[in-house]
Amino acid sequence: MLMQCPFTHDVSATFAEVVGMAGLDHATHDALMPRAMASVGRLRAEKASGKLPVLALPNRRDDLVAWRPIVDRYRSQFSDVVVLGIGGSSLGGATFCRMADSGFGPNAGSPRVWFMDNIDPWTFEALMGRLDLARTGFISISKSGGTAETLAQTLAVLDRLNQRLGVDDLATRMTCIAENTDNPLRTVAGHYGLFCLDHDPNIGGRYSALSVTGLLPAAIAGVDVEAVRRGAASVLEAALAAETPNDCAPAVGAIINVGLATGKGVNQSVLMPYVDRLERFGGWFRQLWAESLGKDGHGTTPVDAMGAVDQHSQLQLYLGGPRDKLFTLILADPSGHGAATKAQVAGPAAEALDYMMGRSLGDLLAAEQRATAETLIRNGCPTRIIQFPTLTEEVMGGLMMHFILETIIAADLLGVNPFDQPAVEESKVLARRYLREGIG
């Protein structure tokens, strides 16, 4: 078991000697190790040279200081903040904000942060109709500055604000994030006098969670963003200091994924946290993994699930269906937490409930996540377990950096570029054409 602060990463149940035929054989694992080590060496060199800016983010603090006044103003001025963006412009921030949000509202003293991450007109109208626009701030995010969905949202919001509050008030209510180039979002910002923060042109959207894109909304929601970066830094430093792939958890994860895909036909990667506050993490990982690896016939399909709820929906397929999935369970230690169960009945009903009497909700969750892991393994399903005592900002930052590195190393092993997404450009071109031609 590898200790990769601030969590453990156990892959022992992904090998054939534990789970049988569906597991990875050591010959395939050993054959991939030198290539994974070469990939780690390239990452080490790219961090040292500054060629890969995403690797510089964990140790930066200057940018956090630079936009802290925006955070303070939004937190003091607004009861609600709406982030306009799609894909990598929203998924990282939404993941952080879900961690800060119980699911039933924001933390005391923090605005409620909403993510308008789609263009369904009914959803847009429903949200705009429930907000007090006089107490609502907006953040518009598009790396290129030309994302059609974000531009449409932004123009619609500006029109609504202008109608309700007047044009003179717009500059205090919306902040934009885009590359510092001549692009449509910058043009809109200039026209309305909106402040625009720079999006690093060398950090792709799906890799931008640890940048202003993800951390500005997170800070507004009350997340300790310095702690997020400390967690990311601890994982990055441990990974790059490793002398062998087996000492580098992201390299191990990449080897397991690629080895199972190429050697055992495992073409789906199921990410299943047992922590509600990681509900949005699966969506963030799904984009990172799919857009980075799905090229030239390569890649595995990411599936996001949630424990314990998906024990009652997907687990039957996982156990009774084809052995084409790698399972990654992300577990905290909930034991002893939450309300305790007490008998309110007598007789046979009380006897039926005896097994849970005096146990907490956390005890039940702990029992179920252990049972799921053991059942998957006993039924021959390759399963790795990532575990930590409790979800903190450091853990979240560490998890994100782990999967960023794992994705980049897996791309190296597959021989694909993890930083482009050529296949989706065709649909973007067609959508613009159809809109211009009035074809709906």
Give the catalytic positions in this structure: 291, 312, 428
Closest to 32 measured CA to CA, from 254, 264, 265, 300: 254
Rounded to whole angstroms, the Cα distance separating 217 from 290 reads 24
Distance (Å, rounded) from C-alpha 173 to C-alpha 136? Answer: 7
CB atoms within 10 A of CB 25: 16
**Could you tell me where the beta strands, DSSP code E, fall in 221-377?**
268-273, 301-304, 325-331
d(CA 266, CA 300): 8
Report CA-CA distances (Å) from 174 to 111, 139, 171, 329.
15, 6, 6, 39
List the structure tokens of 411: 């791309």
The amino acid present at 439, given as its one-letter code, is: I
* CA separation for the pair 349, 344 (Å, rounded): 9
CB-hemisphere CA count at 13 Å for 423? 11
> Which residues have CB under 8 Å from 423's CB, separation 6+?
294, 295
Task: Please check whether residue 203 is in contact with residue 54, taking contact to mean a CB–CB distance below 8 angstroms.
Answer: yes
| Other Cβ atoms within 10 Å of 303 Cβ, number | 18
How would you classify residue 195: left for phi > 0, otherwise alpha for psi between -120 and 50, otherwise beta? Answer: beta
Contact 52, 46 (CB under 8 A): yes
Cα–Cα distance, 115 to 129 (Å, whole number): 15
Distance CA 173, CA 74 (A): 9
Torsion sign (Cα): 177, 74, 218, 300: negative
